């Protein structure tokens, strides 16, 4: 069985390596990872790519056994994936304020997020990038609202690179960690994207 | 859960000032859009819980912030 060594690789490389291997026709293989973020991203990717993942601890991380699900000769069906996501609305929040003015911008962002639970058409997912991750982590003024949205089924995702840069990885309070692969997929699969 | 009140203002500057004062006093609050039923010139308001309302009134009056409040 093939073993991919993704230890030490930064996101989104481990996911891309996994995707390439599945696309190359491997039905069963292992991926070695040494960090929580690539492990979770690979698992998320596999669930959307019709593969099972079995997780085992190793001395320096995890070994993920990836198996293509039975009854599906082509594991990767980009069209099905695209169709399953096509009516989704994604908000990309790249800052913790709306517009340039810091003082007003922060009030507007809080107001914007705190209004979301009361609207009929909520976004399907909200991806927080760059300073946006200050909204999903400790001391964010909108944590309660984001938790409510998360409980209502809105996916809340924070960029792992950004959390790492601002040293907020341990302070994430809501949703999950994501990578550029997920973000680009959200943009390129026919979703409605709103960038703030 | 205690009742919630909306504290609303005549201007955005008043909202910003009120928020700063409440932050300094460590009073929990949330920025929310002003409910449509209230006539206000400012689209943003503060939501606070009933048990801090009196304290909010004291602080905002002391600091000269113009506001009104209503049950949410």
Distance from CA of A141 to the nearest CA of B (A): 7
Tell me: the pLDDT tens digits for A82-124? 443 446 788 999 999 999 999 999 999 999 999 999 888 888 8
Q: Which residues of B touch A141 (CB under 8 A)?
A: 30-31
Q: What is the DSSP letter of A1?
A: -
CB-based contact B31 A145, cutoff 8 Å: no
CA A71 from centroid of its chain's CA atoms: 27
A7-49: pLDDT as tens digits? 988 767 888 888 889 888 888 999 999 988 888 888 888 887 8
CATH code assigned to A82-195: 3.40.1260.10
Whether A114 and B30 have beta carbons less than 8 Å apart is answered as yes
Residue B41: the pLDDT is: 65
pLDDT at residue A144, as a whole number: 94
CB A179 within 8 A of CB A41: yes
Whether domain A2-75 has CATH 3.40.30.10: no
- Going by C-beta distance under 8 Å and a sequence separation of 6 or more, which residues neighbour residue B58? none
Tell me the whole-structure pTM to 2 decimals: 0.64
Closest residue in B to A104 (Cα) is: B16
Which residues of A fall within a CB distance of 8 Å from B33? Answer: 111, 114-115
A186-190, B21-25, B40-44: range with highest mean pLDDT: B21-25
Angle at A162 between CA A111 and CA A85, to 5 degrees: 70
Give all domains of chain B, ordered by start, each with its CATH number.
4-71 (3.30.70.260)
Confidence of residue A191 (pLDDT cuts 50, 70, 90): low
**CB pair distance less than 8 Å for B32 and A114:** yes
- Whether the complex's predicted ipTM surpasses the cut of 0.85: no
- A104 close to B (CB below 8 A): yes
Over range A183-194, report the average pLDDT.
Answer: 76
Boundaries of every domain in chain A: 2-75, 82-195
Share of chain A above pLDDT 90, in %: 54
From residue A23, alpha-carbon distances to A46, A49, A67, A78, A155 in Å are 12, 10, 13, 10, 27
The reported pLDDT for the residue numbered A192 is: 73
- Lowest-confidence range among A98-102, A104-108, A137-141, B34-38? B34-38
What pLDDT shows up at residue A119? 84
What mean pLDDT do residues A57-67 have? 93
Tell me, what's the pLDDT at B61? 95
Arithmetic mean of pLDDT over chain A? 85
Whether the pLDDT of residue B40 is over 70: the answer is no
Residue B36's pLDDT is what?
Answer: 80
Q: Regarding beta strands A176-178 and A28-33, do their DSSP bridges make them parallel or antiparallel, or are they unpaired?
A: unpaired
Band of residue A77 on the pLDDT scale cut at 50, 70, 90: low
| A115 touching chain B per CB within 8 A | yes
* β-strands A2-5, A28-33 pairing: parallel
> Token digits for B28?
């929990």
Asked if the model's pLDDT at residue A72 lies above 60, the reply is no
Give me chain B's average pLDDT, please.
Answer: 90
Question: How far apart, in whole angstroms, are the C-alpha atoms of residue A38 and residue A31?
Answer: 10
The pLDDT assigned to A13 comes to 80
Mean pLDDT on B60-66: 93
- For residue A145 the two structure tokens come to 């609202």
């Amino acid at each position: 069985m093939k073993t991919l060594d993704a230890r030490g690789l930064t996101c989104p490389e481990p996911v891309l390596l996994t995707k390439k291997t599945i696309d190359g026709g491997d039905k069963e293989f292992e991926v070695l990872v040494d960090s929580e973020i690539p492990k979770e991203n690979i698992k998320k990717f596999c669930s959307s790519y019709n593969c099972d993942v079995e997780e085992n601890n190793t001395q320096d991380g995890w070994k993920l056994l990836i198996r293509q699900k039975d009854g599906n000769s082509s594991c990767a069906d980009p069209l099905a994936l695209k169709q399953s996501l096509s009516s989704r609305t994604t908000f990309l929040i790249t800052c913790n304020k709306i517009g340039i003015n810091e003082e007003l911008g922060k009030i507007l962002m809080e107001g914007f997020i705190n209004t979301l639970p009361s609207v009929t058409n909520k976004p399907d997912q909200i991806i927080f990038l760059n300073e946006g991750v200050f909204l999903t982590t400790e001391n964010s003024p909108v944590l309660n609202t984001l938790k409510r949205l998360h409980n209502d089924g809105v996916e809340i995702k924070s960029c792992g690179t950004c959390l790492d840069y601002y040293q907020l990885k341990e302070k994430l309070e809501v949703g999950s960690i994501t990578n550029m692969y997920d973000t680009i997929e959200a943009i390129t699969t026919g979703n409605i994207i709103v960038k703030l | 859960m205690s009742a919630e009140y909306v504290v609303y203002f005549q201007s955005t500057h008043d909202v910003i000032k009120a928020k700063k004062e409440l932050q300094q006093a460590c009073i929990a609050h949330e920025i929310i859009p002003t409910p449509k039923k209230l006539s206000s010139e400012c689209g943003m308001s503060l939501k606070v819980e009933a048990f801090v309302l009196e304290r909010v009134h004291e602080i905002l009056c002391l600091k000269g912030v113009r506001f009104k409040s209503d049950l949410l």
